[in-house]
Amino acid sequence: QVQLVESGGGLVQAGGSLRLSCAASGPTSSTYTMGWFRQAPGKEREFVAAQTRSGGPTLYADSVKGRLTISRDKAKSTVYLQMNSLKPEDTAVYYCAASRRVATRSLGDYNSWGQGTQVTVSS
């Protein structure tokens, strides 16, 4: 199973930026899609963004389109989430995940998860 480790979370003011990183190790060749999810207190975990390797589709939740950007560095087996124009409602624990499926938003399709990194946006 792929191991995932997130980093880059923190406290930022509204309108600010953060970049999250997710380093993957293990049998990464079996991974077709890397995704980011988030979970706010008292809420269910929700899809944020996903990218399929080798030029496949990139997906975003409507709530983050135009503000958050997912990218991959294949050489480093690392996925990034650049977060700009952050809002207080973006406050959550952000999780990196890996799936053997192509271009999926479904939480159940992801079989490997990181430990999460906290993002807090103050107003």
Note the pLDDT tens digit of each residue in 52-94: 876 678 999 999 999 999 998 888 889 999 999 999 999 999 9
Compare 57 and 10 and report the one with higher pLDDT: 10
Average pLDDT over residues 93-101: 95
Closest residue by Cα to residue 95 from 5, 3, 1, 2: 5
12-35 per-position pLDDT tens digit: 999 999 999 999 988 877 778 999
**pLDDT value of residue 55:** 65
Q: How far apart are CA 79 and CA 114, in angstroms?
A: 12
* AA letter at 53: R
- pLDDT at res. 35: 96
Task: Find out whether 38 and 92 touch, Cβ atoms under 8 Å.
Answer: yes
Q: Can you count the helices (H) and strands (E) in the chain?
A: 0, 11
1: pLDDT confidence band, cut at 50, 70 and 90? confident
Dihedral (CA of 98, 100, 104, 108) sign: negative
